[in-house]
Structure 1
Amino acid sequence: MKPAPIKDLITFDDFEKLDIRVGTITALADVEKSRKLMKLTVDFGDHVRTILAGIKQERADPFEIEGKQALFVVNLPEQKMAGEISQGMLFDIGYADKLTPCLAVPETSIPNGSRAG
């Protein structure tokens, strides 16, 4: 793999606008109207959200991520996709570089809702 060029510089203030948190994926469900999307139920400690992720064709068994902690962007506007509402975005590594994606996960178990940054 040849690394992609680094994107344009942003300010630290721009970076601080992102709210990236740890959540535990407690359940997955198929999104019937989509060939790519899976519906993740994610526990953030003080609340639970539904997050849609295009992982259906990326993994032999998308359900293997159930029970795992991962990083999510939680301050994006809700987005309707394939008739479902997504309340955030899963941080996935590799997809943009045409690699088999993997989760961005904490090194050790950490309380749900913990912030990255």
Structure 2
Amino acid sequence: MPPITFDDFAKIDVRVGTITDVQPFPEARKPAWKLTIDLGPELGTKRSSAQITALYTAQDLQGLQVACVVNLGPRQIGPFISEVLTLGFPDAQGNVVLVTPEKPIPNGGRLF
């Protein structure tokens, strides 16, 4: 990938939020969860579709803090509108491992 400037990076708004609800997403092409994420008082709650069923159960996700890109705009995924992109990295098998803070962070905290 070509290098970007710091100003380019600053345009990406990555915030931390807490997953407050997890629902199955049977209409998705690949197995996924529908997540509701509390991103703090400034942003409120947003929804995200995440293909993370291989490593995470609904119980694992409830209350977990995750990193999300909040300024991409909504994306239609089947009948669902995903409002934020929940971030993760692929493990050795290609399964998504979520990006989570090492310590508790107030919801809405911005990555810098």
TM-score bracket, shorter-length normalisation: 0.7 to 0.9
Residue 9 of structure 2: which of 10, 15, 28 is its match? 15
TM-score by length of 2: 0.87
Q: In the alignment, does 2:93 pair up with 1:91?
A: no
Ranges in structure 1 where 5+ consecutive residues have no aligned partner: 1-6
Residue 25 of structure 1: which of 6, 19, 41 is its match? 19
Count of aligned pairs? 109
CA displacement, residues 65-105 of structure 1 (integer Å, 9 cap, x when unaligned): 2111010000011000021000010111225x644432211
Ranges in structure 2 where 5+ consecutive residues have no aligned partner: none
Q: In the alignment, does 2:78 pair up with 1:82?
A: yes
The amino acid of 2:88's aligned partner reads: D
What is the deviation of 1:17? Answer: 0.4
Query: Where in structure 1 do 4 or more consecutive aligned residues deviate above 2 Å?
Result: 60-63, 97-101
TM-score by length of 1: 0.84
Q: How far, CA to CA, are the matches of 2:56 and 2:102 in structure 1?
A: 24
Q: In the alignment, does 2:20 pair up with 1:37?
A: no
Aligned residues: CA RMSD = 1.7
What is the deviation of 1:31? Answer: 1.1
What is the deviation of 1:60? Answer: 5.7
Identity %: 34
Residue 104 of structure 1: which of 87, 99, 102 is its match? 99
What is the deviation of 1:62? Answer: 4.7
Q: Residues 55 and 62 of structure 1 are in contact (CA less than 8 Å); yes or no, is this contact kept in structure 2?
A: no
Residue in 2 that maps onto 1:49: 46
Q: How far, CA to CA, are the matches of 2:57 and 2:48 in structure 1?
A: 18
